[in-house]
Structure 1
Amino acid sequence: MPTLLLLFASNMFMTTAWYWHLKGGMDKPLPIVILISWGIALIEYCLAVPANRIGYAHGWTGGQLKIAQEAITLIVFAGFMVLYLHEPLHWRHLGAFICLMGAVAFVFVGK
């Protein structure tokens, strides 16, 4: 459980680091945007690295950690896209999510 919570938190920071400037930050110089994003990403790393260490220590494989992180990324980004970017979700997003959940199932089956 700590692994999943830390991965969710880290993904919220990484999504913000990558996409915050698309609304209200497009007028800022790119070097400034990059520096701000690096600062936000530092917090993400401080959460993701322990999440992966904890997960690995509890028997998750590297592949399981990565695919779980990708699934969480889609969930977090969907929320960011709707709430911050004000873009609608479409059936395509649901289809992509279902496909990725299939990948998660394949990686975790038999473990």
Structure 2
Amino acid sequence: MPVNPYVTPILLLVASNAFMTYAWYGHLKGDPRPLWIAVMTSWGVAFFEYWLAVPANRIGHQVYSAAELKTMQEIITLAVFAGFSVFYLGERLTVNHLIGFAFIGLGAFFIFKGPLH
């Protein structure tokens, strides 16, 4: 099955961000382990994130610029983080969060729009 350079990077970035979000924030849910264990565990989880993010960027760079790939990654990160913080950490998203995310989305729009004339 051929790899679609338009879609595959997005799917890989979603998966990689799930790993990275858990690595960075999963220990915040009342983890009683010592900090050094949390760091080593997070580092181990992040290892798998790299196995997804690096191919996502390599495949995606066939059709997207580096700036577009980074922008995609940031938008995906926000979406994954928002879901994680609500469903795993039990935190609320406020209107301020949504407004801030919307401004970041607006920035992404201009990255993908191309040069203004």
* TM-score tier after normalising by the smaller chain length: over 0.9
- C-alpha RMSD over aligned residues: 1.1
- The alpha-carbon deviation at position 31 of structure 1 amounts to 1.0
In the alignment, structure 1 residue 37 sits paired with structure 2 residue 42:
yes
Task: For structure 2, list consecutive stretches of 5 or more residues without a partner in the other structure.
Answer: 1-6
1:109 aligned partner = 113
Query: More helix per residue: 1 or 2?
Result: 1
1:21 aligned partner = 27
**Structure 1 outlier segments of 4+, above 2 Å:** none
Normalised by the length of structure 2, the TM-score is 0.89
- The alpha-carbon deviation at position 90 of structure 1 amounts to 0.5
Normalised by the length of structure 1, the TM-score is 0.94
- The alpha-carbon deviation at position 110 of structure 1 amounts to 3.2
Aligned length: 109
Equivalent of 2:58, from 45, 50, 53? 53
1:11 aligned partner = 17
Counterparts of 2:80 and 2:86, CA distance in 1:
10
Q: Where do 1:65-84 residues align within 5 Å?
A: 65-84=69-88
- The alpha-carbon deviation at position 81 of structure 1 amounts to 0.5
